[in-house]
Chains A and B, each alone.
Chain A
Amino acid sequence: MSLMTINLKVWRQKNAETPGKFEDYKLDEVSEHMSFLEMLDVLNEKLIKEGKDPVEFDYDCREGICGSCNMVINGRAHGPKHKTAACQLHMRTYNDGDTIVIEPPRAAAFPIVKDLVVDRSAFDRIIEAGGYISVKTGAAPEANLIPVAQDTSNDAFDYATCIGCGGCVAACPNSSAALFTGAKIAHLNSLPQGQPERDKRTIAMVNQMEKEGFGDCSNYAECEAVCPVGISISAIAEMRRDYIKAIF
């Protein structure tokens, strides 16, 4: 097993009101098998022993599915590996002596809570506006009464797999949430169950996205490039098409 020395530049910020800055840290004996977040755990253990404030960052499942982690690593949301959440990144991606810059995802709609932790509740409010099918508990018909072609179901799944991390927003020069919003709209609008609310849902979610202060989409496609689950920007095309249809 090879051990490395890693230099870190980590964004430290007490809260949204206080200006932040980069701090430099040096870690010796980083194992190549460590995950990126385990490397930060090691840093924090060291900081705590030195009587310093550990770095706050969001994480939970560490399996790439909860969407908690979304730090920007060397300028790229979730780091250099394609279709890989930050928690699934391993130190074997780096070399001895490398310097790694770690920042929070920066967007007006994601205010900083502390260090690398941001407030992503804007995403919940977009879902709240219409990201659901209104079926009350108990009101559902027998499941096989609604056949869904296998391809349709697979496409819906591909959009539904979004983990809500916000990496797309961090990567977008406009801080747009179009990929996140489009993915939910495309998931629900593609299914027969989603048809009755199709127009209402699309308009409400798009309006909420704008209200939250996310920028517009200019087709940079940076969002798709960093998405840890590989959501296609065709979601945005679906959203736009449905939005135009809905408002006329």
Chain B
Amino acid sequence: MKLDPKIPSGPLAEKWTKHRNDIHLLSPNNKRKHKVIVVGTGLAGASAAASLSELGYNVEVFSILDSPRRAHSIAAQGGINAAKNYQNDGDSVWRLFYDTIKGGDYRSREANVYRLAENSNYIIDQAVAQGVPFGREYGGLLDNRSFGGAQVSRTFYSRGQTGQQLLLGAYQAMMKEVHSGRVKMYNRHEMLDLVLIDGKARGIITRDLVKGTINRYEADAVILCTGGYGNVFYLSTNAKNSNATAAWRCHKRGAAFANPCFVQIHPTCIPVSGDYQSKLTLMSESLRNDGRVWVPRDKDEKRPPNQIPEEDRYYYLEERYPSFGNLVPRDVASRSAKLVCDEGLGVGDTGLAVYLDFRDAIKRDSKEVIQAKYGNLFDMYQNITDENPYEVPMRIFPAVHYTMGGLWVDYNLMSNIPGLFVAGEANFSDHGANRLGASALMQGLSDGYFIVPYTVGNYIADEDLPKVSTDHKAFDEAAESSTKIMDKLLSIKGSKTVIEFHRELGKIMWDKVGISRSKEGLESAIEEIRALREEFWQNVNVPGDANYFNKYLEFAYRVADYFELAELMAIDALDRGESCGCHLRDEYQTEEGEALRNDKEYAFVSAYEYLGVNGKLETKLHKEELDFEFVELKQRSYK
């Protein structure tokens, strides 16, 4: 396996422009002879499909949900970053680039991140032109808010529903192209395999989730926009249907999986309440603009929070990180919450929560101002917990939220399989070891609107792509292998449900491959995952059959893939003998308990090659060394 990142030469600020000038174009009448498959309709998928169709390609789009508008990008709350510098606070493309690469703890590519920052401004223009109702000032111009990890206000928002509004903008742009006839939409279709012919991605196998049929689609290129794999942990802020199967099956066909251990644990989520819990709900990071995070100073504190006087409150973020305070990056905030809970200072029934308190903000700005900013989040919180956050502090705890790791891609967002492109959270490319808030929406749309439309065109222009038929034996083989997995799962008829297995797997991952990791913990996690996987394949109970709508069968094959991916995540976490960003190894910390990087040995992207599963996951590690030409690697400090 050869991994060439194909980063253009030249000064950082000129690389993308130069690359766009250099890449090959297809004439409009040639574009319409080509077909591109887009899998997933979140921000990356919908924006890519719309943009490619506008250029003239035939596009086939697949969503596992009943409508493309429901993809989980819809749930992003807080906002989207852009380097517009509308606040005149000194922001620039360079600063957004620098904050993002520093926020990612220097484990991402300079060239990719710089391009992301450059594209950020065009995304805002595009969204506004589509009618996305961003928050505005009285004068009618766009408003901004601050987000963690930055000292400027560069976050554009639509109340607490920024993801929804941006996704609907992209969805509507795509539906406009469905109307034009160039986009064909397949709802409730799940990609089960990638079809390779002559070493190139030439099609996919899907399951029609309503009829249960296995279908074949051929194309000149495939763009995977299927999101992240946070649901490995069972409990996460991801939607229940978000899954890694399409990405994992591409990995099994040869696509390298990069940085699998980089998982973001979001600091502000509603804590777990019981065993029946099916998912965790995020409270936007934007709340940390006005909310103050604290725990009681005394372990044995019994008073209700509102009766605890100032001197008995431990505002641990403000005390430990005076210059960023409550706005430290997500990894630092999550780790700090875990630390104070480990010290026994946690609050609530389980002791696994900290307070996020709006008392002072309400006193300063009035309840109305706070309501205008966060009303829907406060309502959501009250709905779930039955507590009124205007009167008592919220209880929050970290939860799995986003995966920075994903399929390896080069500068063109193409995987090591020619013709397989990966965009949005599904790739690994821009966030390094930690993603800053309001950057996921930016990356999904940058990839979909402004990168793949160019780079896919370049690939199609350069490659010899003879017509292929879905009767080709590669399609037969992939269709059979997908069917075989389902038949096997349905035949076991064991005694434990898929959800029971998934919950157990999630617990191993949360305890040992979660906020902090150790050599011993990871080694035992790997053993436990293997043992549980063995048991899964002997004893899982999947109801019904494959010939009709059967959600538990879908869950079963997704969980089967999680069992392999989980092991890879633990292997990667064990291999990475340093702490960086969200990856905190107990053995590698500064004296102050901060992540201690080892740039000499670990300034690389880990990219794994799949070799099979035989009791254990057989895998081969490849390394893409990261060169830092333009920024100086520093110990991150938010003090």
Which residues of A line the B interface, CB within 8 A? 1, 14-15, 31, 33-35, 37-39, 41-42, 44-45, 47-49, 51-54, 56, 58-68, 81, 83-84, 88, 90, 92, 113-114, 117, 119-121, 123-124, 127-144, 146-150, 153-154, 156-157, 160-161, 163-164, 187-188, 191, 193-194
Contact = CB atoms under 8 A, between A and B. Distances in A.
A119 B47 contact: no
Contacts of A142: 125
Nearest to A114: B549
B341 interface: no
B268 to A, nearest CB: 14
Given A131-B172, A140-B122, 6 more contacts: A61-B75, A127-B172, A137-B51, A141-B125, A153-B133, A164-B67
Interface in B144-162: 158-159, 161
Task: State the 4 A-B residue pairs at the shortest beta-carbon distance, nearest first.
Answer: A147-B140, A140-B129, A132-B172, A157-B133
22 contacts: A34-B274, A48-B543, A56-B549, A56-B551, A62-B240, A64-B380, A65-B75, A66-B72, A66-B239, A84-B383, A124-B67, A128-B178, A129-B179, A132-B173, A137-B51, A137-B126, A140-B130, A143-B142, A160-B133, A160-B165, A160-B168, A191-B131
A61 B72 contact: yes
A193 B281 contact: no
B134 A164 contact: no
Contacts of A138: 122, 126, 449-450
A142 B123 CA distance: 10
B129 A141 contact: yes
A1 B275 CA distance: 13
B68 interface: yes
A135 B161 contact: no
Nearest to B493: A51
Contacts of B497: 45, 48-49
A45 B66 CA distance: 24
Contacts of B27: none
Contact of A188 (B131, B165, B541, B552): B131
B279 interface: yes
Given A48-B541, A60-B70, A137-B449, A143 B124 contact: yes
Contacts, number: 223
A241 B630 CA distance: 58
A10 to B, nearest CB: 15
Given A132-B176, A142-B125, A160-B165, A92 B240 contact: no
Nearest to A153: B136
A150 B279 CA distance: 35
Interface residues of B, number: 80
Contacts of A119: 66
B175 interface: yes
B165 A134 contact: no
Interface string B101-127: 000000000000000000000101111
Contacts of B165: 157, 160
Given A124-B68, A144-B142, A31 B130 contact: no
Interface in B527-567: 541, 543-544, 548-549, 551-552
A14 to B, nearest CB: 8
Nearest to A59: B240
Contact of A68 (B70, B134, B138, B276): B70
Contact of B133 (A63, A67, A187): A187
A116 to B, nearest CB: 11
A65 B74 contact: yes
A47 B139 CA distance: 58
B621 interface: no
Contacts of A144: 84, 86, 141-142
B409 interface: no
A122 B562 CA distance: 34
Given A38-B278, A62-B239, A124-B185, A49 B66 contact: no
Nearest to B372: A154
Contact of B128 (A132, A146, A187): A146
